[in-house]
Amino acid sequence: MSDNSENTTHFGYQTVDKAEKVGKVAEVFHSVAAKYDLMNDLMSMGIHRVWKRHTIACAGARPGNQILDLAGGTGDLTAKFSRIVGEQGKVVLADINDSMLKVGRDKLRDLGIVGNVEYVQANAEALPFADNSFDVVTIAFGLRNVTDKDKALASIYRVLKPGGRLLVLEFSKPTTEGLSKLYDWYSFNLLPTMGKIITNDADSYQYLAESIRMHPDQDTLQSMMEGVGFEEVSYQNLTGGIVALHKGYKF
């Protein structure tokens, strides 16, 4: 591998310096933070809520658990985990983007969720937590925006307790050609148009569509998780593989 390729990565379909990607992703989410929840509902026709509920159900969280909701954005998973872990537990809502964290904090406080939630601005590649800190780590629709996914997965593995588990909910590869073609048409025609109308930002939603296509497919992500030490790694396709839920354990 040449030095050049070692120093570059993809930002959607563009090739950029690795040092630039964090800033470019930050711009996207600063731009869309205020309308993020509304756009999620519109883009997925509300199905993202079903995917997230399923992730919660598969997480096996219990009262007293310590949970990291990584790239947790506006706090959908954190809100549900907060109620499950109770007063003796803790949920850390972590995101690299302070605009998203502020929206999430305001939303959860409006819901009356205080006390067992912490808010931390953090880069997934270098998590600022001690080894063996969490029973469960979730990352929902965030991994594809990380520059070095292997480094992020290794960082997550480090902060999980032995017996802990990671759940990655992420856009993936549709399982049939017909669905794939329909999904492509929707992603590259309707998504940027909706972004333009709702957030006055078509470019960010063009990036999101491209970033989904550049994300590793189901089997590749499974291998990446195994490569940093996760065991009993499995995945479940949701909505025909448009989204997949990966799960792995640290023993």
pTM, two decimals, is 0.88
61 is in an annotated binding site: no
140 is in an annotated binding site: no
For residue 105, pLDDT over 80 is answered with yes
Residue keyed to tokens 């954190």: 78
For residue 79, pLDDT over 90 is answered with yes
Q: How far apart are CA 151 and CA 89, in angstroms?
A: 27
User: Across-strand partners of 236?
Assistant: 245
152 is in an annotated binding site: no
Quick one: what percent of the chain has pLDDT higher than 90? 71
Round the average pLDDT of the chain to a whole number and report it.
91
Higher pLDDT: 231 or 191? It is 231
123 is in an annotated binding site: yes
Residue keyed to tokens 């601005």: 121
Helix (H, G, I), strand (E, B) or coil at 135: strand
- Which of the four pLDDT bands, split at 50, 70 and 90, describes residue 28? low
Q: H helices of the chain, where?
A: 3-6, 18-32, 36-44, 47-59, 76-85, 98-110, 149-159, 177-185, 191-199, 202-214, 218-227
Domain coordinates of the chain in residue numbers? 47-172+218-249
What fold is seen in the domain 47-172+218-249?
Rossmann fold (3.40.50)
- Which of the four pLDDT bands, split at 50, 70 and 90, describes residue 8? confident
Across 50-66, average pLDDT: 98
Of 42-51, 108-117, 212-221, the one with minimum mean pLDDT is: 42-51
